Amino acid sequence: MPYVNIKVTDEGVTAEQKRKLIEGATRLLVDVLNKKPETTFVLIDEVSTDNWGIGYRSVKDIRQAES
């Protein structure tokens, strides 16, 4: 019955990468806590870079300053 929520910035996460995140997170809960995969939820949130802040700045502004 675990619930795993993964939040990342929406910087091009591919369908294949999402599959790997879902599979990997489920396997982690099965391996470490012996949980049942059929009742293990993994939810991925992709957050816009101007909606994610770190160190006083948005990721969008940080990326622009880096480019």
List residues near a copy of itself by CB under 8 A: 1-9, 13, 15, 17-29, 31-33, 35, 37-47, 50-61
Q: How many C-beta neighbours within 10 Å does residue 52 have?
A: 17
> Given the complex with a copy of itself, which of 52 and 67 has the nearer CB atom?
52
**2 carries an active-site annotation:** yes
> Given the complex with a copy of itself, which of 57 and 66 has the nearer CB atom?
57
Ramachandran angles phi, psi of 41, nearest 5°: -95, 135
Active-site annotation, residues: 2
